[in-house]
Amino acid sequence: MACGDGRKRLEATVHGRVQGVGFRYFVQREAQRLSLSGRVRNLRSGEVQVVAEGSDEDLQTLLQILRKGPPMAWVERVDYDWKEPKGDSGPFNVTFTV
């Protein structure tokens, strides 16, 4: 789904060995490089949740990055969904675990 200006929202959950390996800060750095807005956080269940808004092309790039992860990570799978953007703006942040 995309809105009139071509922005989309990616909501993803990354499964595997993704906590304690710098995954959140890796995602933050890559999302900021792509000029995306949103957040990344650990889930108590052991996954990492990513919510990002931006252009389709940049979000597709981020999705590929999520599938690979940083060197110490092992990504089993990425569950994701495309949503209408909610207008999140500002820098891409690491937020608290939920």
pTM of the model: 0.91
pLDDT tens digits for 72-88? Answer: 999 999 999 999 999 87
Among residues 41, 42, 44, 77, the one annotated as catalytic is: 42
pLDDT tens digits for 49-62? Answer: 999 999 999 999 99
Which residues, including other chains, have CB under 8 Å from residue 60's CB and lie 6 or more apart?
A: none
Confirm whether 42 is a catalytic residue.
Answer: yes
For residue 4, the model assigns a pLDDT of 57
Confirm whether 93 is a catalytic residue.
Answer: no
Q: Strand 93-94 vs strand 37-42: parallel, antiparallel, or unpaired?
A: parallel
Among residues 7, 9, 24, 39, the one annotated as catalytic is: 24
- Sorted by where each starts, the structural domains of the chain and their CATH numbers stand as 7-94 (3.30.70.100)
